[in-house]
Structure 1
Amino acid sequence: MNLGYTLAYRLGITPWERARPGFRAQLRTYLDHEEVHRAPGKALDVGCGSGDHSIELAGRGWQVTGVDAVPLAIDRARRKAAAEGVDITFLVGDVTTLGPAAGSGFRFVLDVGCFHGLTAPQRLDYAREITAVAEPGASLLLFAFGPGHRRPLPRGAAHAEIERHFAHWTLDADDPADTTGMPRPLRNSNPRWFHLTRE
């Protein structure tokens, strides 16, 4: 998938960066709810792309680290953050091997479309890494398409698979995502928001 995303950023074909109002409103509602239950602290945005969600979090007072495997996306994210005047740590990295550079003690982890594009072995590594860097009681908000083979779309993830991979987390919510106005393949992919809490 990294090669595909690298090419997509180079060609400017990044439909995931053009979230529609309904999708953005849902994300903001989740973030509002998060902040009712915990004061902003350290947040990790995995598969952060060019940084829009990281910037949203930083604007809300979170201390944000964004990680993405595509250097061009991270370059754009750094430029956007500088233009917005927010301080965010952006790293070129692999979410399956975060390592010490990413830090630890994260209170909130955001994944808008990263996990659902990984292979089965990568998902195991991802879950291990996210669990290791999240503090007890942390939240993970994860957006994913439903399972299926719809090339070139990511293969998606099912409720049971999320539960199985995140054995040290409690799956609190599985809600439909609003994809109104998005291309038909995205609307037909049964997109979901999953919210989990670290035990």
Structure 2
Amino acid sequence: MTNYARMYRLRLTPWERYGKAAAASIAALLDREEAERSLPLGRALDLGCGRGQFTPDLARRGWEAVGIDYVPAAIEAAKSRDVTGVTYLVGDVTDLQSAGLEAFDFFLDIGCFQGFDVAQRSAEGRGVSALAKPNATLLMLAFGPNRMRSRIGGVSQAEVEEAFPEWELLTVEPAETSGLGWPMNKTNPQWYRLRRRT
């Protein structure tokens, strides 16, 4: 598994490049998500939020946004952005119960789940399921299985479904990678959208 705390200390955060380069496609996915909902949108949890790249946008869109990450330095950096309507907390997405969170309508996981082993993926799935309101949705970006999996992660569709047995897989779509270079162009990244079964 990637040592994210170490990467933040070394200022190596290539995943943040994707958020900037793919901002338009991510916005389109969030637009589609919100088009199915009425106002107010509800509560959204950004899983593995890092330095808060996506959490503020959720708040600007009208979500009651919460970001969680296990790296204290990343959460401190996210808090320093001082965005209204966003809450950040240090916590482990594989142990969401210990975070003392209330239920959510929407979950966003951009590149977090893909770095976990089987037990950790199952733990995230259980935690998200326990916090999900009826018909809650999950939008996840994950690398596909690849030769570099032991270093950069990656999961198959079957592994996503295995970790979220109480969820219906609504869509699987290839993520936009043009202009991003390695490793994005070698990992077959996919966007998964799931809905909590009632």
TM over 0.5: yes
Deviation digits for residues 35-94 of structure 1 (CA, Å, limit 9, x no counterpart): 1111311000000000010011011111011110111100010011x1xx4221111111
Distance (whole Å) between structure 1 residues aligned to residue 99 and residue 93 of structure 2: 12
Taking the TM superposition and a 5 Å limit, the aligned residue runs for 1:41-190 are 41-80=42-81, 82=82, 85-99=83-97, 101-150=99-148, 153-190=151-188
Contact 2:95 2:127 in 1 (8 A): yes
Distance (whole Å) between structure 2 residues aligned to residue 73 and residue 187 of structure 1: 26
CA displacement at 1:184 relative to structure 2: 2.3
Please give the secondary structure, in 2, of the residue aligned with 1:76: helix
Please give the secondary structure, in 2, of the residue aligned with 1:184: coil
Point out the more displaced range, 85-94 or 65-74: 85-94
Contact 2:91 2:99 in 1 (8 A): no
Q: 1:154 is aligned with what amino acid?
A: I
CA displacement at 1:11 relative to structure 2: 1.4
Are 1:15 and 2:14 counterparts?
yes
For normalisation by structure 1, the TM-score amounts to: 0.92
Query: How many residues are treated as equivalent by the alignment?
Result: 195
Contact 1:46 1:68 in 2 (8 A): yes
CA displacement at 1:101 relative to structure 2: 3.2
The share of aligned pairs that are identical, in percent, is 43
Distance (whole Å) between structure 2 residues aligned to residue 186 and residue 102 of structure 1: 34
Q: 1:124 is aligned with what amino acid?
A: S
Point out the more displaced range, 91-100 or 107-116: 91-100
Contact 2:21 2:180 in 1 (8 A): no
For normalisation by structure 2, the TM-score amounts to: 0.92
Contact 1:104 1:135 in 2 (8 A): no
CA displacement at 1:148 relative to structure 2: 2.5
Point out the more displaced range, 64-73 or 149-158: 149-158
Please give the secondary structure, in 2, of the residue aligned with 1:194: strand
Q: Which runs of 5+ in 2 are unaligned?
A: none
Q: 2:127 is aligned with what amino acid?
A: E
- Alpha-carbon spacing, 1:15–1:152, altered in 2? closer, same or farther (3 Å): farther
Please give the secondary structure, in 2, of the residue aligned with 1:116: helix
Contact 2:44 2:107 in 1 (8 A): yes
The aligned counterpart of 2:5 is 6
Give the CA RMSD over aligned residues: 1.6
CA displacement at 1:21 relative to structure 2: 5.7
